Amino acid sequence: MGRTVRIKILRQDGAANESHWDVFEIAHREKMNVVSALMEIRKRPSTTEGKDVVPPAWEAACLEEVCGSCTMNINGRVRQACTAMIEELCEVEGDAYVLTLEPMKKFPLVRDLIVDRSRMFEGLIKVKAWVPIDGSYDRGAAPPQDDSIRKLRYKLSECMTCGCCMEACPQVNADSEFIGASALGQTLLFNLHPVGSSLKGDRYDYITSEEGITNCGNAQNCAKACPKELPLTQVIAQLNRDTTVHKLREWIGLAG
Q: What is the pLDDT of residue 250?
A: 86
pLDDT digits (tens, 9 = 90+) for 158-170: 999 999 999 999 9
Q: What is the pLDDT of residue 1?
A: 54
pLDDT digits (tens, 9 = 90+) for 42-67: 999 999 999 999 999 999 999 999 99
Stretch 186-192: mean pLDDT:
97
Q: Give all domains of the chain, ordered by start, each with its CATH number.
A: 4-111 (3.10.20.30), 117-251 (1.10.1060.10)
pLDDT digits (tens, 9 = 90+) for 85-132: 999 999 898 899 999 999 999 999 999 999 999 999 999 999 999 998
* Degrees, nearest 5: CA angle 198-204-208: 170
- Whether residue 136 is predicted with pLDDT greater than 80 in this model: the reply is no
What percentage of the chain exceeds 90 in pLDDT? 84
- Residue 215 sits at φ, ψ, to 5 deg, of -90, -5
Q: What is the pLDDT of residue 174?
A: 86
CA distance 113 to 55: 11
By DSSP bridging, strand 20-27 and strand 4-11 are antiparallel
- Whether residue 256 is predicted with pLDDT greater than 70 in this model: the reply is no
Stretch 71-97: mean pLDDT:
94
Query: What confidence tier does 141 reach under pLDDT thresholds 50, 70, 90?
Result: confident
- Reference 112, options 104, 121, 124, 103; nearest CA is 103
Q: 46-55 long-range CB contacts below 8 Å, 24 or more apart?
A: 47/22, 47/23, 48/6, 48/23, 48/24, 49/23, 53/11, 53/22
